[in-house]
Amino acid sequence: MDLIHQAFAARIFKNKPFGQSLLLGLLFWGFAPGIFAQSARSYVHAGDKAVKQKDFGAAIQHYGTALQRKSNDAALIWKYAECARELHAYPLAEKKYRQLGDLLSLKKANPLWRYRLAEVLIGQGRYEEAASFLEQFLAQSPAVDTAFARRARFDIESCRWAQQQLNSAAPGPQVSSLGTKINSPYSDFAPYVAGDTLFFSSYRFDKRATKKTPRSKITKLMYAVKNGRARELTRGLPTSDTAHIAHTAFTNDGHFFFFTQCKNLNASDIRCEIWLAVKDIRGKWGTPVRLPEPINQAGYTSTHPMVAYDSLEEQLKLWFVSDRPGGQGQLDIWYAPLDTIWFCPCNVPVSSRKALRLPAFEPPVNARTLNSAGNDITPFYHEPSQRLFFSSDSRRGLGGYDIFSAQHDSTGFSGPENAGPGLNTSYNDLYFVLKHSGKAGYLSSNRPGSQYLDEENKACCNDLYAVQYLEPLVPEQPLAQTPTPTPRVPIERPMIPIERLQDPDPVERDPEPEQLSDFEGLPLYFDNDEPDKRTRRTRTQKSYAETAQAYLAREAEYGEKFAGGLPVSKRENAAEQVEAFFDSEVRRGYERLDLLCDMLLTRLQKGESVEVIIKGFTSPRAESDYNLALGKRRISSVRNQFEVYGSGALVDYLRSGKLKISEASFGETTARRDISDKLDDERNSIYHPDAARERRVEIVEIKEGQ
Q: Which residues contact 610 (CB under 8 A, 6 or more apart)?
A: 516, 600, 603, 604, 658, 659, 660, 702, 703, 704, 705
Q: Using one digit for the tens of pLDDT, what is the confidence trace for 286-326?
A: 788 899 899 999 999 999 999 999 888 888 899 999 999 99
On the question of pLDDT at 57 being above 50, the answer is yes
Instruction: Say how far apart CA 441 and CA 464 lie, in whole Å.
Output: 11
Residue 691 in contact with residue 669, Cβ under 8 Å?
no
On the question of pLDDT at 12 being above 60, the answer is no
Instruction: Say how far apart CA 378 and CA 270 lie, in whole Å.
Output: 16
Instruction: Look at residue 274 and give its three-state secondary structure.
Output: strand
Quote the Cα angle for 425-429-435, to 5°: 115
The CA radius of gyration of the chain, in Å to the nearest whole number, is 27
- Asked which of 113-117, 176-180, 211-215, 318-322 is least confident by mean pLDDT, the reply is 211-215
For residue 610, give the H/E element and its range: strand 609-617
DSSP H helical ranges for 415-564: 498-502, 544-552, 555-563
Strands lying side by side in the sheet with 332-337 = 302-310, 315-322, 332-337, 365-366
Classify residue 638 by its DSSP letter.
H
For position 384, what pLDDT does the model report?
92
On the question of pLDDT at 47 being above 90, the answer is yes
On the question of pLDDT at 638 being above 80, the answer is yes
| pLDDT class of 333 with cuts at 50, 70, 90 | very high
| pLDDT class of 37 with cuts at 50, 70, 90 | very low
Pairing of strands 387-392, 376-382: antiparallel
Instruction: Say how far apart CA 455 and CA 316 lie, in whole Å.
Output: 44
> What is the Cβ-side half-sphere exposure of residue 463, based on CA atoms within 13 angstroms?
23
- Length, in residues, of the chain: 706
Which has more confidence, 160 or 579?
Answer: 160
Q: Using one digit for the tens of pLDDT, what is the confidence trace for 154-191?
A: 999 999 999 999 988 677 889 999 988 898 888 999 99
Instruction: Say how far apart CA 98 and CA 412 lie, in whole Å.
Output: 47
Q: Is residue 585 packed enough to be buried (19+ CB in 10 Å), middle (13-18) or exposed (0-12)?
A: middle
For position 259, what pLDDT does the model report?
94
Pairing of strands 659-667, 609-617: parallel
Q: Which residues contact 518 (CB under 8 A, 6 or more apart)?
A: none
Instruction: Say how far apart CA 216 and CA 218 lie, in whole Å.
Output: 7
5-168 and 511-705, same CATH topology: no
Note if the bond before 262 is cis, omega within 30 degrees.
no
HEC string for 336-387: EECHHHCCCCCCCCHHHCCCCCCCCCCCCEECCCCCCCCCEEEEEEECCCCE
HEC string for 174-237: EEEECCCCCCCCCCEEEEEEECCEEEEEEEEEECCCCCCCCCCEEEEEEEEECCCCCEECCCCC
On the question of pLDDT at 26 being above 60, the answer is no
Q: Is residue 219 packed enough to be buried (19+ CB in 10 Å), middle (13-18) or exposed (0-12)?
A: buried
Which has more confidence, 632 or 680?
Answer: 632
Instruction: Look at residue 49 and give its three-state secondary structure.
Output: helix
| Fold annotation for 5-168 | 1.25.40
Instruction: Say how far apart CA 611 and CA 616 lie, in whole Å.
Output: 17
Instruction: Say how far apart CA 547 and CA 693 lie, in whole Å.
Output: 15
Instruction: Say how far apart CA 50 and CA 83 lie, in whole Å.
Output: 10
Q: Using one digit for the tens of pLDDT, what is the confidence trace for 397-406?
A: 999 999 999 9
Of the spans 34-43, 346-355, 626-635, which averages the highest pLDDT? 626-635
Instruction: Say how far apart CA 303 and CA 272 lie, in whole Å.
Output: 6
Residue 252 in contact with residue 501, Cβ under 8 Å?
no
On the question of pLDDT at 465 being above 90, the answer is yes
* CATH number for the domain formed by residue range(s) 511-705: 3.30.1330.60
**Whose CA is closest to 427, among 404, 445, 443?**
445
Torsion of CA 312, 314, 317, 319, to 10 degrees: 0
- Percent of residues, the chain, with pLDDT higher than 70: 77
Classify residue 681 by its DSSP letter.
-
> What is the Cβ-side half-sphere exposure of residue 675, based on CA atoms within 13 angstroms?
21
For position 667, what pLDDT does the model report?
41
On the question of pLDDT at 511 being above 90, the answer is no
Instruction: Look at residue 536 and give its three-state secondary structure.
Output: coil
Instruction: Say how far apart CA 247 and CA 683 lie, in whole Å.
Output: 36
On the question of pLDDT at 377 being above 50, the answer is yes
Pairing of strands 174-177, 463-468: antiparallel
Instruction: Look at residue 309 and give its three-state secondary structure.
Output: strand
**Whose CA is closest to 370, among 434, 401, 327, 429?**
327
pTM: 0.66
Classify residue 688 by its DSSP letter.
S
624-644 vs 544-552: helix axis angle to the nearest 10? Answer: 110
Q: What residues does each domain of the chain span?
A: 5-168, 511-705
Instruction: Say how far apart CA 142 and CA 139 lie, in whole Å.
Output: 7
Residue 609 in contact with residue 658, Cβ under 8 Å?
yes
Pairing of strands 429-434, 365-366: unpaired
For residue 315, give the H/E element and its range: strand 315-322
On the question of pLDDT at 603 being above 80, the answer is yes
- Asked which of 286-295, 383-392, 431-440 is least confident by mean pLDDT, the reply is 286-295
